[in-house]
Structure 1
Amino acid sequence: MINKNVKLVAVDMDGTLLDSEKNAPEDFESWVLAHPEIQTVLASGRQYATLSDMFPSLSECLMYVADNGSFVFKQGEMIYSNAMSDEDIRWCIEYFGAMPGLHLILCGARAAYMKHASELVESNGHMYYHSLEFVENLENCIGKDIIAKIAIFIEEYRAEEVYDSLSGIPETIAPVLSGDSWIDVANKSVSKGSAMEAIQQSLGVSREESMAFGDYLNDYDLLLSCGESYAMENAHPKLKGIAKHVTASNDEDGVMKILRQIPSSVEPPQMQ
């Protein structure tokens, strides 16, 4: 039974709303516009610039949980951030930078920063970080932007293997698996769930009035923050274990199969 009293919907992007070819459902934009009574949130490991580029016609009505909860943006304004300390940033650069096959991206409020690498690595960087700057020394970025997350691209799909081998992480920060090639590191207090709770508080929306969709472990706290939680059929087994529901996969329109069941008092607009 679909909860038709939902006032807040948060949707992860890769592996959730987007199919394997990185395409969004054709009727997602029209659904958002037809449900102004529901605040729709894009909750992703991607940066704000990338997320806002994806649905330019929705820029006035969407909220964005970017960089796995490090930032929240609304109508172009950053309304929440959780910056890493300079000491923790330097530790990550030294620790992860010494591992072969790992490539660091410092994620700031203004842009993301990485060193030049192979075509494969850089194409993955550009895919998720539209505002991307290449630098010779990552430490020189400290103090020039609000750095709230460090994304680590791992070659040969070894993210879970590397994640399981990590040790000696400072108590103030925590790594999270964001995909089979990505580990994200941010303050331990950062998560999509904590950002979602901040949004709920600001809007006066309860957990029971909130719905979330996800597929990977960086969505774990997001799903826990919402009374109606959906793991995709293609989701990590641990996420399915805590989700209230499981919907069809991202390649089978799983998100929209649920959202289409929520009625609206507004007639869907005709998309141009």
Structure 2
Amino acid sequence: KEMLFICENGTIVFEKGTCIYVNEIERSKLYQVLDIVRNIEGVYPIFCGVNSAYIEDDHPLLVKNAGMYYHRLKRVAYLEEVIGVDRICKVALYDTIGAAQNAYLKCKKLSGFFSIVTSGKEWVDIANPLVSKGKVVHYLKERYGLSPQDCYAFGDYHNDIEMLQEVYHSVAVANAHEDVAAVCRFHTLSNEEEGVMHYLKQAFHLKM
């Protein structure tokens, strides 16, 4: 309750337990997304809302991986059930074939209406146009009077690039995508080696 959280690629922001910003996807557009992604082999959609994340399939890999990222995860018969019930701000696609060569390419037809970005080897994120973590970081810098030198950001995949470009202390973990590593000034250990904590301990001389 003492922290500020930028969630779902900058579409939701919580400050001290209160939701202060929501960038909701228009309801009619959610149906459009479902019409396309349900016809892509190996792809499973997740609706990401303010109150919870939602899945409609019980594929074990989907359940396992979605459970890693969403503390609140509900399974429903059809995702259409939650349209208008929760404010859906992002559609995450879990791709068992490979996001870059499968879901991302087949969803590019939506790029005129959505922001579409890979967020991992198996993940594609769909949100409103111009949405990014970087946009919200820029807003928060202005809100709190922070300079780029005041801010640290850590990233590993394409959905982190705009955020990393907003700060001076841009840090790529060792297992980051090469595009992410290229825009960062600094580097640290991999995710599996707790690279973020390692870097923060060194930067702030913390003993934990």
If the length of structure 1 is used for normalisation, what is the TM-score?
A: 0.71
Q: How many residues align?
A: 207
Deviation beyond 6 Å, 4+ runs, structure 1 = none
Q: Which residue of 2 aligns with 1:159?
A: 99
| Mean Cα deviation higher: 230-239 or 247-256 | 247-256
* Separation of aligned partners in 2, 1:189 and 1:167: 15
After TM superposition, list the pairs within 5 Å mapping 1:220-231 onto structure 2.
220-231=161-172
Q: What's the CA shift for 1:140?
A: 2.5
Candidates 81, 86, 89, aligned match of 2:27? 86
Q: Which residue of 1 aligns with 2:159?
A: 218
Q: Which residue of 2 aligns with 1:112?
A: 53
Q: What's the CA shift for 1:127?
A: 2.0
Identity %: 33
* Separation of aligned partners in 2, 1:240 and 1:71: 26
More relative contact order, 1 or 2 (CA 8 Å, 6+ apart): 1
If the length of structure 2 is used for normalisation, what is the TM-score?
A: 0.91
Counterpart contact for 1:121–1:153, Cα < 8 Å: yes
Candidates 61, 67, 77, aligned match of 2:18? 77
Q: Which residue of 1 aligns with 2:71?
A: 130
Q: What's the CA shift for 1:263?
A: 4.0
SS at match of 2:5: strand
Amino acid in structure 2 at the alignment position of 1:218: N
Candidates 147, 155, 179, aligned match of 2:88? 147
Q: 1:167 to 1:259 in 2, by over 3 A?
A: closer
Counterpart contact for 1:214–1:235, Cα < 8 Å: yes
Q: What's the CA shift for 1:165?
A: 4.2
Q: Which runs of 5 or more residues in structure 2 are unaligned?
A: none
* Separation of aligned partners in 1, 2:111 and 2:158: 20
* Separation of aligned partners in 1, 2:172 and 2:203: 18
Counterpart contact for 1:88–1:170, Cα < 8 Å: no
* Separation of aligned partners in 2, 1:159 and 1:145: 26
* Separation of aligned partners in 1, 2:111 and 2:162: 21
When the two chains are superposed, the root-mean-square deviation of aligned CA atoms in Å is 1.9
